[in-house]
Structure 1
């Protein structure tokens, strides 16, 4: 498989070859991938295949820079997501709903993403992708006509990759770094057995169990350190690649706040001029929610609206953010201090899954009891690099 270039355009890349001659996990149906395109495709496909297998529903992910910006399983679209895509009152099929829910988790980051779905792409999803800024998609199949529809995106350069759902990866994986060949066992540890009960013996609700499973599936394919907030089968905030775990928790938590504040009546009442594009509307909503518009932005924001915006007061923000509950939080490594629990609680977290084993695990457990959070110790670290 020829690659356009490596990590950067100035880096040439040799053709991609299967580890086992003739055994290809994927094939390109349209476009020409770069090295990062393939990394996004291979990681995102593994994520959605695992999540769908665990939860029994179509799953989707929106990938950027080899980590998910969002992930979700199929389900109803809330009013904000539906209105954004002109789908008010319309039923949306499994693959399309999973992807739209995944993309809405962090729509600013998902601009120019790589999409992955666990089920074949149908005409509905192909048509929706036609109106979104997206670089490519990987799926286990494509219904008749969908490859041609997708192939018209990006002046014919839209990347369409078909995954072989029957492909079994070799037991070991190898990479070469600075003249050294590094080999390890592939991470095949099962997730379900570690999510039976909370640390105090209480059984998890089915909804909490599923959300934590989705979160752990996401973390297995997210650059560490990583944490994930999930609610009703949708990631609300993913923090990836941070050297400090609490920084990761706070970063992902700020994304949860943005997701939830986008649903505030004051944000939903913003009226944009008809010519303002969907992504620009999203970006303005997010900047409005963040509340730190520059002088230049304030002037331009007024120009894209048909009526002045009603600013959110600190009291309104606090009240709205305090109304979010039922969020699940998963961590790929042990929580080293209780501050992660304290920050997570600020973003509606009622359930936490983490490996345990920190020298301060007792303090973490005590913090969960103090906040009324259900704690699950998985005993399973899920670092990904």
Structure 2
């Protein structure tokens, strides 16, 4: 590899013109000849800079609405020629090909075009061809050529040139080459993913995934694991797009748990009243609705005060001072909400370690998306669980139908159960969880654990009976036997919502009738592993 590569001739062709003029002026001041295309050339000329059009170099005008302008040996020869190879140098001399030492390109805004919901033809027209071809050529020849694809690297480029008398160093060029190939890979991944969705192919032969580094993390789930956080460009409201107002840097576990909390609370539309979700280790330890945000928080907290310590709190409405004051009474890792008033932020300012994240709005629980999980030797890819159930879709299978109050609580509990690790059991009463059993190997154990937690909280709150008395219970999957159902009945549950579909459904229904329970089937399962 060449040691230092002088930069005497640069080709600039960018869609995002942020920082372009300052970069052009800085390069010109260092004696670099500027080549450019289309709108980039016009912008540089308007700023008073001398620029040669690529069309002048190639001898061909831009044509076909700009589709063909840089795909030419005069460009690619200048990018790909090995300066220390006599045959390459001779070919350049014979054909009048001048070297291009620096390429600055960012691509047509394909991802942004898709994100704003443009039609098929518009998306196709925003697929860049010449840009990726030049980037790959320059990156391959990084022994001699410097390639920049990110606006954030402009200052680094100039700094490296200043440090090395107008040249760039090998280490810097290698780093930029990696970033260049990662950018074209991410771009192609976005195009192929969009096209698969557009043609209705849920399982294309090859599937590419890409992300942009948002944060290098101190460590992963444990201190001996390295970790980083990447965004996927979808701009879905949540932890990836939230504004952090205060607090320490988010950890790997903070990000994972905050995502779980916000996705859960987004099930409850703000227009239907305040709601709060408290999460610990990706499982809800308390979820509630209320007449006020403060009431919702208190009711969620009273489900499991012990587990709420050091947890993540998500709200479906902007944080107010009264709720902020109450939250401040215990140690909380993160609070995420679609806004906060000044008084609330002032209260939290006294809790320097508390992270406050603000989003513009809630996530859409009905939106489509993909869930990706790595396994040894491959990836599992599935649709996001955006299944929802209405009261009209429920099938009453017991002699007794649920009351209006029970029905309301069942629908609430069902939304929560969707976000609890399987086997999931959720007891709810009056719009609040009163017992949650998560992640157990048997469903009956989840029933017992949730009931025991409710009993413990009754003792803590000084109640004469646990709040599972008169509650409803939601199960994320069917009861394989009647034992789990009977455990719930013993805890005081009066109504049950579950998917159904067991070989022993008749046995479970008969047990519910014998216990005087009302039971409805959803026909939909919500496993979350």
Shorter-normalised TM range: 0.7 to 0.9
SS at match of 2:336: strand
- 1:10 maps to 224
Q: Is the 8 A contact 2:394 2:521 kept in 1?
A: no
Stretch of structure 1 that moved more, 9-18 or 222-231: 9-18
- 1:196 Cα shift? 4.3
- 2:55 maps to none
Compute the TM-score of the two structures, normalised by the length of structure 2. Answer: 0.55
Give 1:243's match in structure 2, choosing from 420, 428, 441. 441
- Decide whether aligned partners of structure 1 residues 340 and 365 sit closer, same or farther in structure 2, where only a CA change above 3 A counts: same
Q: Distance in 1 between matches of 2:307 and 2:392?
A: 31
Q: Is the 8 A contact 1:355 1:378 kept in 2?
A: yes
- 2:344 maps to 146
> Is 1:377 matched with 2:518?
no
Give 1:41's match in structure 2, choosing from 258, 261, 273. 258
Cα deviation per residue 1:79-125 (whole Å; 9 max; x = unaligned)? xxxxxxxxxxxxxxx11111111011011111111111111001111
- Decide whether aligned partners of structure 1 residues 22 and 258 sit closer, same or farther in structure 2, where only a CA change above 3 A counts: closer
Q: Is the 8 A contact 1:353 1:376 kept in 2?
A: yes
Q: Is the 8 A contact 1:226 1:240 kept in 2?
A: yes
User: Gaps (5+ residues) in structure 2?
Assistant: 1-213
- 1:345 Cα shift? 1.0
Q: Distance in 1 between matches of 2:392 and 2:344?
A: 39
- 2:331 maps to 133
- 1:179 Cα shift? 4.3
- 2:275 maps to 59
Q: Distance in 2 between matches of 1:123 and 1:29?
A: 16
Choose between structure 1 and 2 for higher RCO, CA contacts under 8 A separated by at least 6 residues: 1
- 1:246 Cα shift? 0.6
Q: Distance in 1 between matches of 2:511 and 2:380?
A: 39
Cα deviation per residue 1:112-141 (whole Å; 9 max; x = unaligned)? 111111110011111112221111111111
Compute the TM-score of the two structures, normalised by the length of structure 1. Answer: 0.74
- 2:21 maps to none
SS at match of 2:413: helix
- Decide whether aligned partners of structure 1 residues 347 and 129 sit closer, same or farther in structure 2, where only a CA change above 3 A counts: same
- 2:285 maps to 69
Cα deviation per residue 1:264-313 (whole Å; 9 max; x = unaligned)? 46xxxxxxxxxxxxxxxxxxxxxxxxxxxxxxxxxxxxxxxxxxxxxxxx
Give 2:361's match in structure 1, choosing from 147, 158, 165. 165
Cα deviation per residue 1:26-45 (whole Å; 9 max; x = unaligned)? 33222311121111111111
Give 1:123's match in structure 2, choosing from 303, 308, 321. 321
Q: Is the 8 A contact 1:151 1:160 kept in 2?
A: no
- 1:52 Cα shift? 4.0
Q: Distance in 2 between matches of 1:29 and 1:4?
A: 20
- Decide whether aligned partners of structure 1 residues 11 and 145 sit closer, same or farther in structure 2, where only a CA change above 3 A counts: farther
User: Gaps (5+ residues) in structure 1?
Assistant: 76-93, 266-319
Q: Is the 8 A contact 1:129 1:150 kept in 2?
A: no
1:232-381 mapped onto 2 (5 Å cutoff):
232-264=430-462, 321=465, 325-381=469-525
Could you say what the CA RMSD is over the residues aligned between the two structures, in angstroms?
2.4
